Amino acid sequence: MKKNTFIDLFSGSGGLSLGFSNNGFDLLLANDIDNQALNTIRYNLKITHPNTNENHIIHGDITEIYKNLNVAMVKQKLLGHKTVVTNKSIQIKKRAPSTYTNEVKEYLNSLTQCDVIIGGPPCQGFSMIGRAKRGNLIDRTKGFIDDPRNSLFSYYLKFVEKLNPKLVLIENVKGLKSASEYESLIKNSLKNIGKKYDVESILLNTKDFGIPQNRERIFFIGIRKELKIKYNIGACDIIQNILKKKQKTTINLKDAIFDLPVISSNPKPNNYDEKKEIKFGNKKYFGENVSKLKYEVLINHQKCTKYRNQINRLKNKGIIHPETLYNHKSRYHNPNDLSIYNSLKQGKYLNHPSNIAALKKINKGTPFTGFLDKYFKLNQNHISKTIIAHLETDGNSYVHPSQNRSITPREAARIQSFPDWYFFTGSLRNQFKQIGNAVPPLLASVIAKEFIKILTKINK
């Protein structure tokens, strides 16, 4: 039986890839500029993509790597009045290795077709958070359309132009939908690239698909025009079929994370060396990056079975338990933050009357300025707010409902629907960044299932 293939651009740590590989797709290529995220893909490769050569997980700048495709050069289509290149972006590009190598060039030239191209171009330029930091309405409006990262989808299009996949998928933040003409620009670009595509976009919220998180993202879905005509199925039909998969009930945080071991806040700053971890059973136990005890010993199987089984269905629809528990380790919190956490009420913003004690500790006699969720305790009986990459900086907005600390990378990964056997490499900060940037694999799996139905029909 013919295997369906896909390419994942701007792959990050592999959320989209995991959803597609779980539904029988073979990965031909994954590319990202963040090597630590790719290390996570490489680490999990034998489980997630057993037929993929590790050399086809390519670390590099897509603005350089696409030149190996032998296609016309990208013409920038920024819609703003200026461009702003941050120093961080410059440094990331400098650290990326050159992809002008014979090995990369030969492999990319050997690719003549693939069934699906997926990807989530960096979204910081469109994010609502980025806009909120700017002064006035005009600045906020311009601020998310003049970022050069906003044009990175153009390089995605070059892979589409070269390989003419049957189906395409682009994921991005909700803010793109209000970002001037960018939504129509992406649609029109896909409609006219290569063999041309029928394209539609849709806002999907992960909470509607059995994932305990309020996370809205825009998805662009396209099918080659001649296939739409021949098989009488267009992008609108695909979207309608995806919407039919919405679930009537939601999963709450208690179901999602309360079976994990109870741990304390890390007692010291920068205390992340695995040799300094405390043995399980000690009241000061703050978790482990890789547990020394077996997973079966640490996990309470009487709790949260429904959700844990759901995320484990990501591997061949069966339940896979890892040998050990990964990435369940707390960060350090200073005494003042711990005192504030202790006063917070679950699910209430700082302006709520029940949080007056916490607010007094924050204000210290001065008027409060800042975001109302600068400190926020998640509600165990509800879903989580959006898991974001900012978690790498601090966890003050993601305080655990019943334990006096912020959530761990494993808890964030659970909320994102990653199975427990999926290990995130790198520092604790970087783990949070990878998890926050990822597409929840359970949602990716819903989309992949619809794609596989169409490809099965075409292949017959």
pLDDT at position 316 = 61
What's the pLDDT band for 145 if we cut at 50, 70, 90? very low
The average pLDDT across 41-54 equals 93
pLDDT above 50 (res 139): no
pLDDT at position 78 = 52
Q: What does the DSSP 8-state code read for residue 31?
A: E
Regarding predicted confidence, which is higher, 410 or 124?
410
Q: Is 323 helix (H, G, I), strand (E, B) or coil?
A: coil
CATH number of 253-437: 3.90.120
Name 370's Cβ contacts closer than 8 Å, sequence gap at least 6: none
pLDDT at position 143 = 40
pLDDT at position 42 = 97
pLDDT at position 428 = 97
Q: Which fold does the domain 4-246+440-459 belong to in CATH?
A: Rossmann fold (3.40.50)
pLDDT above 70 (res 173): yes
In Å, what is the CA distance from 329 to each residue of 280, 338, 430? Answer: 12, 16, 13
Please tell me which of 147-156, 168-177, 315-324, 357-366 the model is most confident about, judged by mean pLDDT.
Answer: 168-177
- Between 59-63, 145-149, 152-156, the lowest mean confidence (pLDDT) is in 145-149
- Between 75-79, 104-108, 121-125, 416-420, the lowest mean confidence (pLDDT) is in 75-79
In Å, what is the CA distance from 238 to each residue of 24, 119, 193, 247? Answer: 18, 18, 20, 17
What's the pLDDT band for 413 if we cut at 50, 70, 90? very high
What's the pLDDT band for 356 if we cut at 50, 70, 90? very high
DSSP class per residue in 200-229: EEEEEEGGGGT-SB--EEEEEEEEEHHHHH
What's the pLDDT band for 137 if we cut at 50, 70, 90? very low
| Dihedral sign from CA coordinates of 400, 404, 408, 414 | negative
Q: What does the DSSP 8-state code read for residue 56?
A: G
pLDDT at position 127 = 46
pLDDT at position 241 = 97
pLDDT at position 220 = 97
List pLDDT tens digits, range 299-313.
987 778 778 878 887
List pLDDT tens digits, range 430-447.
999 999 999 999 999 999
For 267-344, list the strands marked E by DSSP: 287-294, 324-329
Regarding predicted confidence, which is higher, 69 or 98?
69
pLDDT above 90 (res 338): yes
What's the pLDDT band for 130 if we cut at 50, 70, 90? very low
List pLDDT tens digits, range 74-109.
876 555 534 445 566 666 666 777 776 889 999 999
pLDDT at position 85 = 53
pLDDT at position 234 = 97
- Between 7-16, 178-187, 188-197, the lowest mean confidence (pLDDT) is in 178-187
Round the average pLDDT of the chain to a whole number and report it: 88
Euclidean distance between CA atoms 261 and 284, whole angstroms? 12
Q: Could you tell me which of 10, 15, 145 has the C-alpha nearest to residue 439?
A: 15
Q: Percent of the chain at pLDDT above 90?
A: 70
Residues 279-300 as b/e (b if ≥16 CB within 10 A, e otherwise) read ebeeeebbbbbebeeeeeebbe
The average pLDDT across 389-414 equals 97
The average pLDDT across 309-322 equals 75
The average pLDDT across 449-453 equals 97
Q: Where are the domains of the chain?
A: 4-246+440-459, 253-437
The average pLDDT across 304-327 equals 80
The average pLDDT across 273-283 equals 94
